[in-house]
Amino acid sequence: MTRLPHFQLYIDGAFTEGRSGQTMTTQNPATGEDWATFACAAPQDVDRAITAARRVLDDPAWRDMTQTQRGKLLYRLGELIADHADHLGRIETTDSGKLLAETTSQTGYVGEYYRYYAGLADKIEGAVLPIDKPDMHVFTRREPIGVVVAIVPWNAQMFLTATKLGPALAAGCSVVLKASEIAPAPMLEFARLIEQAGFPPGVVSIITGDAANCAIPLTRHADVDRIAFTGGPETARHVVRNSAENFAVTSLELGGKSPILVFDDADLDGAANGLIAGNFGASGQSCVAGSRGLIHRPIFETLIERITEKCAKIVVSDPLDTRTHLGPLCTKSQLDHITATLATAKEQGAKIRFGGAALDRPGNFMAPTLVECANHSIETLNVELFGPVMSLLPFDTEEEAIVLANSTPFGLGSGVFTQNLARAHRVSSRLKAGICWVNTYRAISPIAPFGGYNRSGYGREAGLDAINDYTRTKTTWINTSAEPMSNPFVMR
């Protein structure tokens, strides 16, 4: 029997098995077959990783490193990621089912995030305060917040790791990164690049495992100062409750049910491409998936026909094949969830205009699906499906479109397609979402912050200000008077 590839944990500068000896098997979503195994962390492994992260904060090798030197390490890491993009991308595709074209290009671009934060590492500044007291020199400085726990999901793990690890390391923190127990192989392989870049042992550890043995002891640990979490709202509630044990500063980037508004003056081909990209990019497995298409009634039928024509040309196949447009879903449970939700939507009066079923072949393949909805109560408009399902609903007025767009507890992404500049500004300003794309969708940059409103979480990742979220401000008062401090019980 052929032995499957095996991935180990990376703790305190060493690759290791978990103390309990527990391993898990990961499947190739395109075939449904086992393809690799990985070690799982036990509570003792979590404690080892956190203890190392705490220790290294006082280790001169990291503590006394200049910010410029830290920046050079980050830059080196960015270069290594770009150099190994094909290797990491192939592992991610095999493990998660995402298209190879997407995993390799996204991983290559992720290097830009590390280079961006490398450049910011020695731009972290304090200030001299014009204090209202005589003979006092008062200044602030930003210091590393401490031990950071970064938790990332499987669907965009290299990208979502960069938005946490980049600013945390630039600020001088240490990080324990928890990869999802679903498709963790690329993150465990990524640990080799951390080692090659030259970070001192303990600065970054990468582990994975189940909730009871890994996630819970990690987020409750007394030595954790900061938690950066990306995932689902239900898991986030547990993270927030656990953080009450250590008062760790917490940021959450959660799910979404993003609307894309298409007005009757939009370029219809561009709008159709935006809806396709927003829903079928990454097979719909994205927090910012534009899964609610709100379309001006005069163009509703015309745009559906145009999208249907494009759907008919989508190639659903092996994600390692560069000719494939749509790969499998990562897990069988996603497929079952989508199938059940579509059944409910049809009972509510929704009409399937294209697709609507799993494909009869090995693997977790779902046909690209268009759902015409008569009203906003249809199930597919309200449940995050994490799959290639686009729900389309007509509107009559700009005000109605805005109300429909905001009729969700989520608020991560949004899109507007219109040729009217005034309308673009007017509508985008009223959408309750952390990101608004106009006449485009899913564009990203290390320079641009992102995050959610409402149940899509709080805090922002990427951009200039994100680095400050991994620091604490210290204020220092220096008495410059030649006279000794006055008697505190003599009031003047």
Q: Parallel, antiparallel, or unpaired for β 226-230 and 457-458?
A: unpaired
**Cβ atoms within 10 A of the Cβ of 340, count?**
12
**Max Cα-Cα span within the chain:** 87
**Amino acid in position 245:** E
Nearest to 467 by CA among 113, 110, 57: 113
Question: Is the distance from CB of 314 to CB of 280 less than 8 angstroms?
Answer: yes
Q: Rounded to 10 degrees, what is the CA torsion of 361, 364, 367, 373? A: 140
With 0-12 / 13-18 / 19 or more C-beta atoms within 10 angstroms meaning exposed / middle / buried, residue 176 is: buried
Q: 332 near 350, Cβ under 8 Å?
A: no
The reply to whether 189 belongs to the active site is no
**Is residue 411 exposed (0-12), middle (13-18) or buried (19+ Cβ within 10 Å)?**
buried
What residue type is 278 in one-letter code? G
Catalogue the E-assigned strands of 209-363. 226-230, 249-253, 259-262, 292-296, 351-354
CA gap 320, 326 in Å, rounded: 11
Query: Do residues 337 and 346 touch, judged by C-beta distance below 8 A?
Result: no
Q: How many helices (H) and strands (E) does the chain have?
A: 14, 21
* Contacts for 20 with CB less than 8 Å, ≥ 6 apart: 40, 42, 44, 213
Sheet-wide strand order for 437-438: 351-354, 369-372, 389-395, 292-296, 259-262, 415-417, 437-438
Annotated catalytic residue: which of 102, 112, 181, 253?
Answer: 253
Nearest C-alpha neighbor of 381 from the set 268, 271, 260? 260
Active site residues per annotation:
253
